[in-house]
Amino acid sequence: MTMNFKPGLTALALTAGLGLFAALAPLPVAAQETAPATAAVDAIQDFSIGVPDAKVQIIEYASFTCPHCARFHEEVFGKLKADYIDTGKVRFTYREVYFDRYGLWAAMMARCGGEMRYFGITDILFSTQGEWAASDDPAAVVANLKKIGRTAGMDDAALDACMKDGATAEALVAHFEKNFTADGVEGTPTFFINGVKHSNMGYDDLKALIEAELAK
């Protein structure tokens, strides 16, 4: 199963409340609309793991608040990493999807740790999704995310600087919307294996597709 994207979410809606990260009130709408952009969409990069020139290139579109994505990363990704990524056969790229503010905030926290920490933080976000994202109180979710960030070695000053960056948040949303639309993605998780789109699957099916590509 996949989690379907709900159209109509705007960068403004997703980034509303970013001031919570710095224990401040959200910016007024007018201020958010007129704030100068300091982060260009083209500067946003997806994070990858594995040998760059691996024969099989996998791109996953996923959201940190998607339960089906969490299940994939809990049940499948570890095997994929051990059998194919760590052995140089697969290059895996994670493309973030933002269904809601919580997912965007989680991504901003994960990115704050840089490329070296990103996939470790991603593992934590998925394995504890039912804990950090469970509250209806945005302030509680912020506190939960910052706790994960501190566990990964970041301090509050660094987390606040990353997470209240409205310009970067808007650039992330624009980057996501551009790729999501261009690739015709409708839900998460969605996978592209050497450019061919596939829906959510278990490890056996994924392994069969990878082996078929390796045999070419």
Lowest average pLDDT, out of 84-88, 105-109, 165-169, 207-211, goes to 165-169
Does the pLDDT at position 61 exceed 90? Answer: yes
CB 16 within 8 A of CB 150: no
Three-class secondary structure of residue 15 per DSSP: helix
Whether 15 maps to a domain, the answer reads no
Whether 35 maps to a domain, the answer reads no
What is the structure's pLDDT at 41?
63
**Amino acid type, 60:** E
β-bridge mates for residue 197, sequence order: 192
- Proportion of the chain above pLDDT 90, given as a percent: 65
> 101-112 and 156-163 are packed helices; what angle lies between their axes, rounded to 10 degrees?
130
Distance CA 56, CA 128 (A): 29
Six token digits for residue 83 = 């059998």
Nearest partner of 93 among 45, 55, 126, judged by Cα: 45
CB 164 within 8 A of CB 177: no
Mean pLDDT of 37-54: 81
Whether 197 maps to a domain, the answer reads yes
In this structure, the dihedral spanned by the alpha carbons of residues 159, 165, 169 and 170, taken in order and rounded to 10 degrees, is 180
Lowest average pLDDT, out of 8-12, 120-124, 171-175, 185-189, goes to 8-12
Distance CA 107, CA 111 (A): 6
**DSSP category for residue 28:** P
**Owning domain of residue 89:** 40-214
Mean residue pLDDT across the chain: 85
What is the structure's pLDDT at 34?
35
Whether 80 maps to a domain, the answer reads yes
Whether 85 maps to a domain, the answer reads yes
Helix (H) / strand (E) containing 204: helix 203-214
| CATH number of the domain within which 170 lies | 3.40.30.10
Number of domains forming the structure of the chain: 1
140-176 pLDDT tens trace: 999 999 999 999 999 999 998 888 888 888 889 889 9
Six token digits for residue 90 = 């697969």
Does the pLDDT at position 38 exceed 70? Answer: no
Six token digits for residue 123 = 């593992």
User: Which runs of E-coded beta strand occur in 29-188?
Assistant: 47-49, 56-62, 90-96, 187-188
Q: What angle do CA 41, 180, 14 make, to 5 degrees?
A: 65
Whether 4 maps to a domain, the answer reads no
What is the structure's pLDDT at 168?
87
Whether 5 maps to a domain, the answer reads no
Give 89's pLDDT tier (boundaries 50, 70, 90): very high
Whether 123 maps to a domain, the answer reads yes
